[in-house]
Structure 1
Amino acid sequence: MLVDTGAMHSIFLPSGKDRSRKPDETTALVAANGTPIHSYCTKSLEISILGRNYVWKFTIADVRIPLLGADFLAQNGLLVDLGRKRLLNTGTCRSLPPAASPGAPTICTVTPHKYGNLLQEFPEVFKLELRQAAGTPPKHGIFHHITTTGSPTHVKF
């Protein structure tokens, strides 16, 4: 599971049976880039962390990796220690140690993208209704032109 302190809800992957249901319109989940995430229901699931079993009500939604969100961390007194790359239980002071072997889970920080402030300044760029099919004119009516001279030194599409 991905520990995501920026996620308000803990989210788990849907089963085939869950996906056959109509998406739940009452739970509006949105990804970091602004796109909606289909959710289906909630389920109580048992997970084990730091030698303790927890039962938590997860939102079942279309995500690639299950998320352990701020709701779970706050309710269960778990802190993310970014300096030592571990989870810390505030009640027992036990911690999940950093990964010792390659491929084992680790805790790491996600550094902001160098264009993050620019994207936050213009969120309308990511509106679903403005997306276009390849080869069609943009629906937003904005065209960019870069005037150049001479032959291109490199072309990448």
Structure 2
Amino acid sequence: MPCSTGSRELLWVNDTISSTKYLIDTGATFSIVPPTSDHKTAQQPAFDLIPANGIPIATYGTESCHMALTQSVSFTWLFLVAEVNQPIIGVDFLEAHDLLKDTRGPSLYHRPSNSSIQVTGCAGNPPLITHLRQESSYDSILRQFPLLTSQTPNHGCIDHGVEHCIITSGLPCFARPRRLPPERRQAAEMEFQAMLNEGTIRPSSCC
């Protein structure tokens, strides 16, 4: 599994129902379980998880898991199924169930029940999984022409004869002018001037 550089404190918690050991990772946006052979046979990867190192991790849909972290505290959650080495409880699970890391010791504080869940601590460097990406038929085209999605200044050196004109008629749309606070006006004027310098906009020819 791709890992980010650097080691950080990690917590592990046991599910008393399945005896599964979950990694609690506040650097992971999503909660994840590893795929089984059935997952891989049932469907092809549709989404990619993107860790901090940028190397995509294939996913295989979702899996609903019911777990009991103590005798009195149980949860049901829809986990992503992805190519990871161990089940991960991410920020989505922690926020949804109001679970907080207890700074006084290796435990999680469950605010709704006012109870603590015992965990074990260790150091490690799992992937910082930040977002999902779905590959589409347009991605390969955009990769061939990166300038389409990047902001590049226009210095007037146009190497094609394509022009796009929007011809309007009648009076322009009207909205009552409102004064901006001085700091916002200054920021707006700086942005307008930057776009003028880049050639992104030009002074209007309307009266």
Give TM class, smaller chain: 0.5 to 0.7
CA distance in 2, matches of 1:54, 1:97: 15
CA distance in 1, matches of 2:102, 2:124: 14
CA-to-partner distance for each residue in 1:70-100, whole Å, 9 max, x for gaps?
10100001111244111110122211235xx
CA distance in 2, matches of 1:57, 1:46: 9
User: 1:109, CA displacement in angstroms?
Assistant: 5.9
**Matched residues, number:** 102
CA-to-partner distance for each residue in 1:41-95, whole Å, 9 max, x for gaps?
0111111113322110000000001100110100001111244111110122211
Secondary structure at the aligned position of 2:93 is classed as: helix
CA-to-partner distance for each residue in 1:101-123, whole Å, 9 max, x for gaps?
xxxxx134658xxxxxxxxxxxx
Aligned to 1:95: 116
Matched, 1:107 2:127: no
**1:22-61 alignment, distance < 5 Å:** 22-25=44-47, 28-51=48-71, 52-61=73-82
CA spacing shift, 1:83–1:36, aligned 2, 3 Å: farther
Give 2:101's aligned amino acid: V
Q: Which of 14, 29, 32 is the aligned partner of 1:11?
A: 32
CA distance in 1, matches of 2:103, 2:55: 28
CA spacing shift, 1:30–1:82, aligned 2, 3 Å: farther
Give 2:26's aligned amino acid: T
Determine which structure has greater relative contact order: mean sequence separation of CA pairs < 8 Å that are 6+ residues apart, divided by chain length: 2
- Counting aligned pairs with the same residue, the percent is 33
Unaligned runs of 5+ in 1: 99-105, 112-157
CA distance in 1, matches of 2:39, 2:69: 26
CA distance in 2, matches of 1:110, 1:80: 17
TM-score in terms of structure 1 length: 0.59
CA distance in 2, matches of 1:97, 1:67: 16
Unaligned runs of 5+ in 2: 1-21, 126-207
Aligned to 1:70: 91
Q: State whether residues 50 and 94 of structure 1, in contact with CA within 8 Å, keep that contact through their aligned partners in structure 2.
A: no
CA spacing shift, 1:53–1:66, aligned 2, 3 Å: same
Structure (1 or 2) with the larger CA radius of gyration: 2
Secondary structure at the aligned position of 2:85 is classed as: coil
Secondary structure at the aligned position of 2:80 is classed as: strand
* Structure 1 residue ranges (4+ consecutive) displaced by more than 6 angstroms after TM superposition: none
CA-to-partner distance for each residue in 1:3-52, whole Å, 9 max, x for gaps?
01111110011110112221013xx3112322111001011111111332
CA distance in 2, matches of 1:63, 1:82: 28
CA distance in 2, matches of 1:4, 1:93: 22
- Whose helix fraction is larger, Structure 1's or Structure 2's? 2
CA spacing shift, 1:34–1:83, aligned 2, 3 Å: farther
